[in-house]
Structure 1
Amino acid sequence: MISKLDLYKVFCEVAKCESFSKGAKALYMTQPAVSQAIMQLEGELEVRLFTRTSRGVILTNEGKLLFEYANSAINLINVGEEKLLESKNIMLGELKIGVGDAISRYFLLQYLDKFHSEYPNIKLKIVNRTTLELCDMLKSGKIDIAICNFPIEDTSLEIKKCMDVQDIFVCGDKYKNTLSMPLSFEELSKLPLILLDTKSNSRQYVEKYILSKGIEIVSEIELGSHDLLLEFAKINLGIACVVKEFSREYLNNGVLYEVKIVEEVPKRSIGFCFLKSVPPSPATKKFVEILES
């Protein structure tokens, strides 16, 4: 009889393919064998996992719940096997890094350069996502380490701070003179604001703090990139909320101007995190050593 782990592998493959026949092909099994495996798993769990349609199969609500955990577990097993092979030789392997868009440009590049110089045979895979998405990818084994915006509240992750950053508001020439005096949060909220999209951890941090003062800020323009915030503010489309440390070139060259606020948003941090429950691979350990140095 097929093992329980193999049953879950068959289940996940069929779920991803949305087809018994395509799942069978991907697993190099016959379709009857795949059908039998799904029937066995449904029998053991006493629940129906798939709804049959004319085009294939779709997960039931119970199936969706099971898939979320089973697929993550199988991914972690696969990652474990990869890390075991990598541990035999630190000079080979792959390091999968998840990072925020601005952090990759203004913080990560220098460390990637040093790591690649020391370990040129280790393949680097860089994934750009929001902080929330990166945490989910860590827990499903899709990346080894995430460099992202803090704060993060997740007890399953080992979290280490690298540097503090300051969120500020900037404007172009059009607003320079009219915004020469420090603004209150209420005055700021009435301006045309350019913010990152609502999934951004940094935006949520700023919004939450200003809301704690009784003021709600609303974006007139939402963007998915820190660099676009700078460029949109540069052509006077509004007042952008940016990270001061990542905007120095624009500020030093007089392309953008910092809008003074009566009360600054408290500094926050950026740093890296990885799963507590999974020992980091040798490549990850070496990269962490470079980050901490």
Structure 2
Amino acid sequence: MVSKLDLYKVFCTVGKSESFSKAAKDLYMTQSAVSQSIMQLEKELDIRLFNRTSRGVSLTQEGVLLFEYANSAINLLHVGEEKILEFKNLTAGELKIGVGDTISRYFLLPYLEYFHNNYPNIKFKIVNGTTLELCSILKSGAVDIVVCNFPLVDPALEMRPCIDIQDIFVCGEKYKSILSKPLHLDELVKLPLIFLERKSNSRRYVEDYMISKGVKISPEFELGSHDLLLEFAKINLGIACVTEDFSREYLDKGLVAKVPLVEEVPKRNIGVCFLKSVPLSRAATKFVEIVENRKF
């Protein structure tokens, strides 16, 4: 007798491949058995899950909804199986980390190097995205941990702050005349501003702080990377909001200058987060310990 879990595995495989025949090959089943499994699931749920055409199959609207949940559940089961199979001494296994490009480059690399040198048989899988995108990926089971910008509010996640970082504003040569005295926020927003795009967690943090002070921003430029913020500021396109810790090279070389403020943006954190409901693998536990203790 085919279990309900087996039916969902078949359903997800067909949903990914959009083909009964390809799914049959992937599952080492006959095409007829795959078709029968889908028909049985549709009968039990009393809903049509696939549109069937001569060119293959595609998920119905109801099928898309079910696929999102079923695929996440199966991914989490796979994660559980992988954790059981890992060796206690970390001689095998995989560590899947979600992290943004900027944090990866300016913060995470030394920890990756240290971990790899000490546990060379653990494979890395790195997934990039914004903080919110990565948290969604974490909940699907596709990564073990996420290294991202805090603050973050999500009761499903365990959060471990690791380092404090400072948001600042920088400018190029053209605007250095404004550096003679610290600026109030309402003076700052009269200048052309350069910010990260709205979906960025660090952008939202600074914007929320400014709004709390009664100041609303309307950036001239909204960019997708921290390095572009610095480059735009360097060529005098405006005043860029950047992370001071990640801008040290530009500041030290005088490519950009820090804009003094009467009241600085409060510091925030970069940290590690993971699902409260899912135990970490031994590899992920060790990596979190290394990052938390800044041990490399």
Instruction: Please give the TM-score of this superposition, normalised by the length of structure 2.
Output: 0.93
Q: Aligned equivalents of 1:207 and 1:53: distance in 2?
A: 49
Give yes or no for contact 1:99–1:126 (8 Å, CA) kept in 2: yes
Secondary structure of the residue aligned to 1:261 is coil
Question: 1:25: Cα distance to partner?
Answer: 2.7
The residue aligned with 1:16 is 16
Question: 1:188: Cα distance to partner?
Answer: 2.3
What do residues 87-141 of structure 1 show as CA deviations (whole Å, max 9, x unaligned)? 4441221111111221112211221222122112211222221111111111111
Worse-matched range after superposition: 212-221 or 163-172: 212-221
The residue aligned with 2:93 is 93
The residue aligned with 1:289 is 289
1:177 aligns with 2:177: yes
**Number of aligned residue pairs:** 293
The residue aligned with 2:40 is 40
Give yes or no for contact 1:180–1:259 (8 Å, CA) kept in 2: no
The residue aligned with 2:137 is 137
One-letter amino acid of the counterpart of residue 62, structure 2: E
Question: 1:179: Cα distance to partner?
Answer: 4.7
Question: 1:158: Cα distance to partner?
Answer: 1.0
The residue aligned with 2:78 is 78
What do residues 154-196 of structure 1 show as CA deviations (whole Å, max 9, x unaligned)? 1111111001111111101111114533333333223222211
Question: 1:284: Cα distance to partner?
Answer: 1.0
The residue aligned with 2:200 is 200
1:211 aligns with 2:190: no
Worse-matched range after superposition: 213-222 or 273-282: 213-222
Give yes or no for contact 1:76–1:141 (8 Å, CA) kept in 2: yes
Q: Following superposition, which runs of at least 4 residues in structure 1 exceed 6 angstroms of deviation?
A: none
Residues 24-173 of structure 1: matches in 2 within 5 Å?
24-173=24-173
Secondary structure of the residue aligned to 1:274 is strand
Question: 1:8: Cα distance to partner?
Answer: 0.5
Give yes or no for contact 1:49–1:59 (8 Å, CA) kept in 2: yes
One-letter amino acid of the counterpart of residue 75, structure 2: N
Q: Aligned equivalents of 1:73 and 1:8: distance in 2?
A: 10
**What is the RMSD computed on CA atoms of the aligned residues?**
1.7
Secondary structure of the residue aligned to 2:286 is helix
Secondary structure of the residue aligned to 1:113 is helix
One-letter amino acid of the counterpart of residue 98, structure 1: G
Q: Aligned equivalents of 1:141 and 1:207: distance in 2?
A: 31
Secondary structure of the residue aligned to 1:260 is coil
Give yes or no for contact 1:20–1:35 (8 Å, CA) kept in 2: yes
Secondary structure of the residue aligned to 1:35 is helix
Q: Structure 2 stretches of 5 or more lacking a match?
A: none
Worse-matched range after superposition: 89-98 or 23-32: 23-32
Q: Aligned equivalents of 1:21 and 1:209: distance in 2?
A: 55
Give yes or no for contact 2:131–2:149 (8 Å, CA) kept in 1: yes
Give the fraction of aligned pairs with identical amino acids, expressed as a percent.
Answer: 71
One-letter amino acid of the counterpart of residue 143, structure 2: I
Question: 1:267: Cα distance to partner?
Answer: 1.4
What do residues 251-283 of structure 1 show as CA deviations (whole Å, max 9, x unaligned)? 122211111223322211110011111111111
Q: Aligned equivalents of 2:263 and 2:154: distance in 1?
A: 29
Give yes or no for contact 2:197–2:224 (8 Å, CA) kept in 1: yes
Q: Aligned equivalents of 2:45 and 2:240: distance in 1?
A: 53
One-letter amino acid of the counterpart of residue 223, structure 2: L
The residue aligned with 1:257 is 257
Give yes or no for contact 2:160–2:292 (8 Å, CA) kept in 1: no
Instruction: Please give the TM-score of this superposition, normalised by the length of structure 1.
Output: 0.94
